Amino acid sequence: MVKLNRRQFIALGTASMGTALVGNWLYQEKKSSQPKPLSSANLTPVYQSSNGLLELDLEARESLVNLGGQQASLLTYNGQIPAPRLEAKPGDTVRIHFTNNLEQPTNIHYHGLHIPLVGNADNVFLKIEPGKQLTYEFQIASNHPSGTFWYHPHLHGLVAEQLFGGLAGMFIVRGELDEIPELKAAQEEFLVLQDFSLDNRGKRADSAHMSLMMGREGDIIAVNGQANPSINLLKGGLLRLRILNASPSRFYRLALEDSAFYQIATDGNSFSEPIEVNELLLTPGQRTDVLVKASQESGQYRLLNLPYDRGSIGMMGGGMMGRRNNSDTPIVLAKINYKSTVESLTLPTKLAPIEPLPEPQTVRRFELNHGMNPAVGMAFLINGEPYDRDRLHTQVQLNTIEDWELINIGVMDHPFHIHGNAFQVISRNGIPELLLAWRDTVLVKRGERVRIRMPFRDFAGKTVYHCHVLDHEDLGMMGNLMISA
């Protein structure tokens, strides 16, 4: 329940996303589909902080929602797919009165935020039973980077299922980056990418055992809970798109028809300058922030999802469990319409400076693989072990810098995510990484060795690192990390 007497307001976001094409999930568009105005209920609500406080009620519950024109029974925060967007500023206090009205225990992880890891903050060891409440409260440090973060459940064993049910929303920190005049002038839009699997009555379909091994994917792709929405680029021909992959396993290989992206940030952190790219691979958990420039004449760009092969469980051959995302046809995710009359805004030249990190005090190795476990069949392992909640797999000291070598010796790609602290990629397969960037999730392809460097500057406590193909995480590819003062 939203308490309207609180000071922050609920704004209805993305007013320009006023239309959705209903019922055509695929590239082949059916002629019968009509653009249909959305009711305001279909727009993602936004909660913004005011006077240094972001406070809201958040309830996890199963709800009937309109998913791209089709009725679906999904797991929601406040009845919304995607969940409400939260917006705060560095220095703000965040207070979320959370109620779990699911039939399972749950909790909330604030993915990418650099906030305390213990107490009622970004603490994935909390367990909120059905019918119970918990108030999350934390402060966003005044030097916190501005960027696109997100929140989702993180109770080990249930993470994939609860995200596949729909529980995910954006958490925006607005700050310095947003004050850059060119970015301020651009039209800002938000795309939350999710996939779902429904039976013919709109109920969530069960995932087969083998699809859990591969990482479950649904045949319905929703963008902000809609099928193939249209964005009308109104002002200045410059669009800022913040994109989140909130799917449990699906990778999105994004491209714009007839245009490039100007990428300004990866995960929550900005680059030092925009980088022109033709394609963007977004693994589960990752975010990207891009600018799109309209061309001179009126027209439309289609945002495509291109095929990507993230590997397969080799011994079973191709078939059902292999090559899941390797359908031959690109899928249209959204459309961007623009008019010729607009006067084109310019791209920014400088964003936020990034400092390279000093040499590490410690170097560790993490081997990612899968193997057999008597209890569950196939298990997903880090350094040969499945997750054990009572063990401390890795212990580090505050005020140190570490290099982690992430080595994928398996046959599937694994996007590796670390809670609480961002890192820089140093090299891939021994080749130095030239692009200086902060990330919280990095893809380690099958056969690949990725070296990352990470400072532990503040926030002692226990947290986790894991594969963000969430079935792999639930099946054991996670470790506990103790950061000691």
Q: How far apart are CA 9 and CA 286, in angstroms?
A: 28
Of residues 60 through 119, those in contact with ligand C2O by CB under 6 A are 109, 111
Q: Looking at beta carbons only, is 239 or 481 nearer to ligand C2O?
A: 481
Nearer to ligand C2O, 114 or 302 (CB): 114
Output the smallest distance, CB 461 to ligand C2O, in A. Answer: 15
What's the token pair of residue 169?
Answer: 């929303």
417 contact choice in ligand C2O, Cu ion, none (CB below 5 to 8 Å, kind-dependent): ligand C2O
Q: Smallest gap, in angstroms, from Cβ of residue 468 to ligand C2O? A: 6
Are residues 287 and 245 in contact, defined by beta-carbon separation less than 8 angstroms? yes
Nearest distance, CB of residue 450 and ligand C2O, angstroms: 18
Alpha-carbon distance of 452 to 466, in angstroms, equals: 14
Query: What does 154 interact with, of Cu ion, ligand C2O, none (CB < 5 to 8 A by kind)?
Result: ligand C2O
Contacts of residue 206, Cβ cutoff 8 Å, sequence gap at least 6: none
Site string for Cu ion, 390-429 (x = CB under 5 A): ------------------------x---------------
Quick one: 182 or 440, whose CB is closer to ligand C2O?
440
Among 285, 322, 386, 476, binds ligand C2O (CB under 6 A): 285
Cβ distance to ligand C2O smaller for residue 111 or 114: 111
Considering CB under 6 A, how many residues would be counted as binding ligand C2O? 9
Q: Output DSSP code: residue 25.
A: -
| One character per residue 209-248, x = contact with ligand C2O (rule: CB under 6 A) | ----------------------------------------
Extract the tokens encoding 40.
């305001």
How many other C-beta atoms can be found within 10 angstroms of the C-beta atom of residue 122?
26
DSSP E strand boundaries for 201-330: 220-223, 229-233, 238-245, 252-256, 261-266, 269-277, 279-282, 287-293, 299-306
The kind and range of the H/E element at 58 are: strand 53-67
Among 466, 467, 474, 480, binds ligand C2O (CB under 6 A): 466
419 belongs to the binding site for ligand C2O (CB under 6 A)? yes
- Of the pair 102, 478, the CB lying nearest Cu ion is at 478
- 114, 144, 154, 253: residue in contact with ligand C2O (rule CB under 6 A): 154
Indicate the residue among 182 and 413 with the shorter CB distance to ligand C2O: 413
**H helix or E strand, kind and range, residue 453:** strand 449-456
Terminus-to-terminus CA distance in the chain, angstroms?
Answer: 39
DSSP structure class, residue 88: E
Cβ neighbours of residue 179 under 8 Å, at least 6 residues apart? none
Cβ nearer to ligand C2O, comparing 285 with 479: 285
Dihedral in degrees, nearest 10, Cα atoms 288, 289, 295, 301: 40
Binding region for ligand C2O (CB under 6 A) = 109, 111, 152, 154, 285, 417, 419, 466, 468
